[in-house]
Amino acid sequence: MLRLQSALGIFALLLIAWALSENRRAVSLRQAAIGLVVAFVTAIILLKLP
């Protein structure tokens, strides 16, 4: 349950940033998706390290 809450928090922050942006059409969904993947991979790696 805690992991789901963390994931929803990340998406909520992205949604808030998008909603408050001045030029919403300039947001690249590809770059946002790549950033999310990098964040999740980094989190998984850090959680697996002793």
Q: Widest CA span of the chain, in angstroms?
A: 43
The structure's pTM equals 0.60
- Hey, is 28 helix, strand or coil? coil
10 contacts 16 by C-beta, under 8 angstroms: no
Would you state the structure tokens that stand for residue 20, as one six-digit string? 């408050």
The string of pLDDT tens digits covering residues 2-40 is 778 888 888 898 889 888 888 878 878 898 889 889 988
Count: domains in the chain: 1
Quote the domain boundaries for residue 28: 2-48
Q: Where are the beta strands (DSSP E) in 1-50?
A: none
10 contacts 36 by C-beta, under 8 angstroms: yes
User: For residue 42, what pLDDT is reported?
Assistant: 92
DSSP state of 50: -
